[in-house]
Amino acid sequence: MDNNREVLVCAECHRASCWYGEFYCDRSRFANVVVLTVKQLKELNLEDSAYWTKKTFLEIYGNDMPDFKDEKRLSEEEFKSLIQSL
């Protein structure tokens, strides 16, 4: 799997499955989204990597390389504090 692939996830629980609506976290109703890389998602280890594959992207977005360029990303500092908060 491409570690640089970008994945749109719920900004509260950091799971793509929540954003896709397969499972909603407690705060999803008011949550924004954030872009994480597969590498970051592997570090977080919060859900199955099947949610980050080309196949899933095709099913969800109809495109295996969706454009998330206008979405928020975490700085290195923000990602570090997120890891520490888990």
Shortest separation between residue 64's beta carbon and Zn ion, angstroms: 23
**In sequence order, what are the residues at sequence separation of 6 or more whose Cβ sits closer than 8 angstroms to the Cβ of residue 9?**
15, 16, 18, 19, 33, 34, 35, 36, 41
Question: Which of 41, 53, 35, 39 lies closest to 86, judged by CA?
Answer: 41
Q: Does 25 bind Zn ion (CB under 5 A)?
A: yes
Q: Does 53 bind Zn ion (CB under 5 A)?
A: no
The residue range among 11-19, 46-54, 58-66, 67-75 that interacts with Zn ion, by the rule CB under 5 A, is 11-19
Give contact residues for Zn ion (rule: CB under 5 A): 10, 12-13, 18, 25, 28
